[in-house]
Amino acid sequence: MVITDMDRVERCIILTGLSGAGKSTALKILEDRGFFAIDNLPPVLMPSLMKALSRNRSAVSMGVAIVIDVRGEDLLGDLLSSIKELEVTGANVTLVFLDASDDWLVRRFETTRRRHPLGEGITILEGIERERSKLYDIREQSDIAVDTSSLLPGDLRSIILSKLNLNDEPFTVIVSSFGFKNGIPKDCDYMFDVRFLPNPNYVPTLKKLSGRDVSVREYLDRIPEKHAFMDRLGSLMEFILKQYENTGKKQLHVAIGCTGGRHRSVAIAESLSKCVTDMGHVTVTNHRDIDLESF
């Protein structure tokens, strides 16, 4: 993307709400999606900041996400007027208010052993009550309100992205093959060893071929243990993928290894990719060592 003098930041998402309700977590979610993230900005500075960020690639392409809360104290009164000023320039501003029940907020403060930001000498519950009063008008003016009570981070991620109409990235499964003699991949989540299968490398007519070739795959298809392994691996992957999707994880890397990374691991990786695709998942297949000299 080439930034020009005509570019400007068109989208601004303001995250506000009760302390302990998850504003920092929500900000990180948007930052991971490419937004330019700013924590604890005085509202009065928003218009000038949006102009300054017109030269920033991520801010122009995705937008800006800003956390504004009671740490700004009196500055909260400037929030609504600053939003109006931004909207006059044509910016798309969304005010998101994060809330939670008193019980959940107290529990989070006690877990982190933080005092309430409104000051010392008051109980956590008193701080929450004062903060609710200060933020009442802001909550009434918000475009989106999210109650984070009992939400896990993965749940909050799904809700935030859904309410902001940010199409989530598809869950992707990377299936790679490799040869143990060339070292194991350092970034895989699961690794399976298929060296128990007969090695086509020692069959003269198959030696110079790879696991992508029909002859090699037909050779392995005649081995009962190959089918038994694939049946069990398919069932395991079906179970695992459901669990990972529920956590909010967006990518899983499964590595299949044999001795040289040219025959058995390639064929099994291809079969596994098809199996995972048939389950409805996006797959990427990578054969790390397929073009290395076989021995």
Helix (H, G, I), strand (E, B) or coil at 182: helix
Cα within 13 Å of Cα(269), Cβ side: 35
Query: 189 to each of 13, 175, 180, 253, 254, how far by Cα in Å?
Result: 34, 10, 16, 5, 6
Supply φ then ψ for residue 158, to 5 degrees: -60, -40
Cα angle value 145/71/38 (rounded, 5°): 70
CA atoms of 108 and 293, how far apart (whole Å): 57
Cα 273 off chain centre by: 22
C-alpha closest to that of 98 among 47, 174, 28, 190:
28
Residues 97 and 23: beta-carbon distance below 8 Å: no
pLDDT digits 0-9 by tens, 18-37: 988 999 999 999 998 889 89
Confidence band for 54, pLDDT divided at 50, 70 and 90: confident
In the block, tokens 């504004």 appear at 68
Of 71 and 291, the structure prediction assigns the larger pLDDT to: 291
pTM over the 0.75 mark: no
Q: What is the pLDDT of residues 161-179, one digit of tens each?
A: 888 888 666 788 999 999 9
Q: Residue 122, Cβ neighbours under 10 Å: how many?
A: 14
Nearest to 101 by CA among 172, 166, 149: 149
- Residue 48's contacts (CB-CB under 8 Å, 6 or more residues apart) are none
pLDDT at 107 over 50: yes
Helix, strand, coil tally for the chain in percent (to 5): 45, 20, 35
pLDDT for position 248: 64
Give the model confidence (pLDDT) of 175-186 as tens digits: 999 999 999 998
User: What type of residue is 36?
Assistant: F
Q: Which residue has the higher pLDDT, 113 or 148?
A: 148
Maximum Cα interatomic distance, the chain, rounded to a whole number of Å:
83
Domain boundaries, the chain: 11-163, 172-287
CB 103 within 8 A of CB 20: no
**What homologous superfamily does CATH list for 11-163?**
P-loop containing nucleotide triphosphate hydrolases (3.40.50.300)
**Which secondary-structure segment (H or E) carries 67?**
strand 64-67
